[in-house]
Amino acid sequence: MSYKIAVVGATGLVGQEMLKILHERKLPIKELYAFASFRSEGSFVKFGEEKIKVEEARPEKIAKADFALLSIGEEISLEISPEVAKKGTIVIDNSNAFRMNPDVPLVVPEVNPEDLKEHKNIIANPNCSTIQMVVALYPLHKKFNLERIVVSTYQSVSGKGKDAVVELLDQTREFLNGNKIEPKVFPYPIAFNIIPQIDNFEENNYTREEMKMVRESRKIMHLPNLKISVTCVRIPVIRGHSESITATFSKDFTLEEVYNILNKAPGVKVLDSPQEKIYPYPLFCDGKDEVFVGRIRKDLFEENTLNFWVVADNIRKGAALNAVQILEEIIKGG
Amino acid sequence: MSYKIAVVGATGLVGQEMLKILHERKLPIKELYAFASFRSEGSFVKFGEEKIKVEEARPEKIAKADFALLSIGEEISLEISPEVAKKGTIVIDNSNAFRMNPDVPLVVPEVNPEDLKEHKNIIANPNCSTIQMVVALYPLHKKFNLERIVVSTYQSVSGKGKDAVVELLDQTREFLNGNKIEPKVFPYPIAFNIIPQIDNFEENNYTREEMKMVRESRKIMHLPNLKISVTCVRIPVIRGHSESITATFSKDFTLEEVYNILNKAPGVKVLDSPQEKIYPYPLFCDGKDEVFVGRIRKDLFEENTLNFWVVADNIRKGAALNAVQILEEIIKGG
My answer on whether B172 and B98 are in the same domain is: no
> What average pLDDT does range B271-291 have in this prediction?
97
Amino acid A239: pLDDT: 98
CATH number for the domain spanning A219: value is 3.30.360.10
- Comparing CA positions, the residue from A8, A10, A30 lying closest to residue A20 is A10
Q: pLDDT per residue over B14-33, tens digit each?
A: 999 999 999 999 999 999 99
pLDDT tens, position by position, A53-88: 999 999 999 999 999 999 999 999 999 999 999 999
The three state secondary structure string of chain B is CCEEEEEECCCCHHHHHHHHHHHHCCCCEEEEEEEECHHHCCCEEEECCEEEEEEECCHHHHCCCCEEEECCCHHHHHHHHHHHHHCCCEEEECCCCCCCCCCCCECCCCCCHHHHHHCCCEEECCCHHHHHHHHHHHHHHHHHCEEEEEEEEEECHHHHCHHHHHHHHHHHHHHHCCCCCCCCCCCCCCCCCCECCCCCECCCCCEHHHHHHHHHHHHHHCCCCCEEEEECCECCCCCCEEEEEEEEECCCCCHHHHHHHHHHCCCEEECCEHHHCECCCHHHHCCCCCEEEEEEEECCCCCCEEEEEEEECCCHHHHHHHHHHHHHHHHHHC
Contact A236 B233 (CB under 8 A): no
Residue A333 pLDDT level (bands cut at 50, 70, 90):
confident
A 80-109 residues inside an 8 A Cβ radius of B: none
With CB atoms and an 8 Å threshold, state whether B205 touches A274: yes
**pLDDT tens per residue, range A227-247:** 999 999 999 999 999 999 999
Q: Which of A172, A237, A274 sits opposite B172 (nearest CB)?
A: A172
Model confidence at B186: pLDDT above 80: yes
pTM above 0.95, yes or no: yes
Total number of domains in chain B: 2
| CB-side neighbour CA atoms (13 Å) of A189 | 18
Band of residue B334 on the pLDDT scale cut at 50, 70, 90 = low
User: What's the pLDDT score for residue B44?
Assistant: 98
The yes-or-no verdict on residue B307 having pLDDT over 80 is: yes
Mutate to test the interface with A, among B151, B165, B241, B244 (most CBs of A within 10 A): B244
Q: What are the chain A neighbours of B196 within 8 Å (beta carbons)?
A: 242, 244, 279-281, 294-295, 309
B48: CATH: 3.40.50.720
The yes-or-no answer on residue A119 being catalytic is no
Mean pLDDT confidence for A171-186: 96
Q: How far, rounded to the nearest angstrom, does the alpha carbon of residue B291 sit from its chain's CA centroid?
A: 11
Burial (CB count within 10 angstroms: exposed 0-12, middle 13-18, buried 19+), residue B130: buried
Residue A6 has pLDDT above 90, yes or no: yes
Which among B119, B128, B232, B285 is annotated as catalytic? B128
Q: Is residue B167 domain-shared with residue B301, that is, in the same domain? A: yes
pLDDT in tens, A252-288: 999 999 999 999 999 999 999 999 999 999 999 999 9
Q: Could you give the CA distance from residue A251 to residue B37 in angstroms, rounded to a whole number? A: 54
Both B250 and B113 in a single domain? no
Among A312, A172, A277, which residue's Cα sits nearest to residue B237? Answer: A172
Question: What sign has the CA pseudo-torsion B298, B302, B304, B309?
Answer: negative
- The number of C-beta contacts closer than 8 angstroms across A and B is 165
Mean pLDDT value across residues A294-317: 98
Interchain CB distance below 8 Å, A196 and B279: yes
Whether residues B168 and B303 share a domain: the answer is: yes
Instruction: Show the domain range for B55.
Output: 3-126+319-333
User: What is the spatial order of strands in the sheet that A305-312 belongs to?
Assistant: A227-231, A146-154, A241-249, A305-312, A291-298, A268-270
Q: A-chain residues within 8 Å CB-CB of B280?
A: 196
B97 and B231 both lie in a single domain? no
pLDDT of A334 > 80? The answer is no
**CA gap B10, B24 in Å, rounded:** 16
**Which ipTM did the prediction report?**
0.97
Residue A116 reports pLDDT greater than 90:
yes
Nearest to A194 among B176, B277, B282 (CB): B282
pLDDT tens digit string along A308-319? 999 999 999 999
Q: Mean pLDDT in chain A?
A: 97
The answer on A310 and A241 residing in a single domain is yes
Is beta strand A241-249 parallel, antiparallel or unpaired with respect to A305-312?
antiparallel
Mean pLDDT rounded to a whole number for chain B = 97
CA distance A228 to chain B (A): 7
Which residues between 218 and 257 in chain A have a beta carbon less than 8 angstroms from any beta carbon of chain B? 227-229, 231, 233, 235-238, 242, 244, 246
pLDDT at A294 over 80: yes
Contact residues, chain A, for B307 at CB < 8 Å: 229, 231
Tell me, yes or no, whether B173 and B203 share the same domain.
yes
B236: closest CA of chain A, how far (Å): 6
- In a shared domain, residues A169 and A310: yes
User: Are A192 and A284 within one domain?
Assistant: yes
Contact B229 A205 (CB under 8 A): no
Q: Is B189 on the interface with A (CB under 8 A)?
A: yes
Considering only CB atoms, A279 lies closest to which of B150, B197, B214, namely: B197
Contact assignment for B154 to A237 by CB distance below 8 Å: no
Average pLDDT estimate for A48-52: 96
A window 139-158, beta carbon within 8 A of B: 148, 150, 152, 154
pLDDT score of A329 more than 90 = yes
Model confidence at B265, in pLDDT bands (50, 70, 90)?
A: very high
Give the tens place of pLDDT for each residue, B221-234: 999 999 999 999 99
Q: Which of residues 289-328 of A touch B (CB under 8 A)?
A: 294-297, 299-302, 305, 307, 309
Q: Does B232 qualify as catalytic in the annotation?
A: no
Going by their DSSP bridges, the two strands B291-298 and B268-270 should be labelled as: parallel
* Annotated active-site residue in B119, B141, B232, B241: B241
Do B142 and B265 lie in a common domain?
Answer: yes
Rounded mean pLDDT, B78-105: 98
Q: Are residues A182 and A301 in the same domain?
A: yes
Query: Pick from B129, B227, B212, B226: which is nearest to A246 by CA?
Result: B227
Distance from CA of B244 to the nearest CA of A (A): 7
Selecting from B227, B242, B302 the residue whose C-beta is nearest the C-beta of A301 gives B227
Catalytic residue among A119, A141, A241, A285: A241
**What does the angle CA A244 – CA A205 – CA B236 come to, to the nearest 5 degrees?**
40
Show residues of chain B in contact with A187, CB under 8 Å. Answer: 277
C-alpha–C-alpha distance, residues A240 and A170, integer Å: 19
Contact B281 A195 (CB under 8 A): yes
Same domain (yes/no): B75, B188:
no
Q: How far is B217 from chain A (nearest CA, A)?
A: 14
Nearest to A46, CA basis, from A8, A4, A25, A18: A18
